[in-house]
């Protein structure tokens, strides 16, 4: 009889960079992963500078990286501001709330996982890195 792996539900969203909100073009630059059952909130990012500059040669790459790094820090409970004091579920909801900014989260999707850190890496490879 095969061993049963306990898996818990999780939610995830792709972090998108929209260098020119007026044009609506976007690129995937990271993922957010949240599991209430496993008490996990994490993010992984990988910004492709060349691709960003192809979408907008005037994009402020350093500023976009700073925002992505702040998202990762917020998931870890690091940084300033009131959001860092919130429970991880509230932070995930805040990060995935619709907004019209250069860095934003796409739609929230669900799945099952036994290892949310491994799931975060898998989703980054599948949804952000080029094929």
Boundaries of every domain in the chain: 9-113
Between the alpha carbon of residue 94 and those of residues 23, 61, 113, the distances in Å are 25, 24, 23
Residue 74 CB burial class (10 angstroms; 0-12, 13-18, ≥19): buried
- Whole-number pLDDT of residue 5: 64
H helix or E strand, kind and range, residue 68: helix 61-76
Mean pLDDT of the chain: 93
- Whole-number pLDDT of residue 4: 54
- Whole-number pLDDT of residue 76: 95
Between the alpha carbon of residue 119 and those of residues 61, 77, 87, the distances in Å are 27, 20, 21
Between the alpha carbon of residue 97 and those of residues 13, 25, 79, the distances in Å are 11, 19, 19
Contacts of 8 by beta carbon, 8 Å cutoff, 6+ apart: 35, 37, 38, 112, 113, 114
- Whole-number pLDDT of residue 3: 55
Which stretches in the chain have pLDDT values below 70?
1-5
């Amino acid at each position: 009889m095969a061993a049963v792996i306990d898996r818990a539900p999780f939610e995830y969203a792709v972090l998108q960079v929209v260098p020119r909100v007026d044009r609506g073009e976007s690129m995937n630059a990271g993922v957010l992963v949240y599991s209430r059952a496993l008490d996990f909130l994490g993010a992984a990012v990988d910004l492709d500078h060349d691709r960003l500059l192809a979408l907008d040669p005037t994009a402020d790459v350093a500023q976009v990286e700073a925002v992505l790094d702040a998202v990762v820090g917020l998931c870890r409970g690091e940084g300033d501001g009131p959001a860092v004091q919130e429970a991880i579920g509230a932070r995930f909801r805040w990060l995935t709330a619709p907004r019209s900014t250069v860095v934003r989260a796409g739609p929230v999707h669900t799945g099952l996982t036994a290892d949310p850190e491994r799931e975060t890496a898998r989703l980054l490879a599948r949804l952000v890195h080029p094929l």
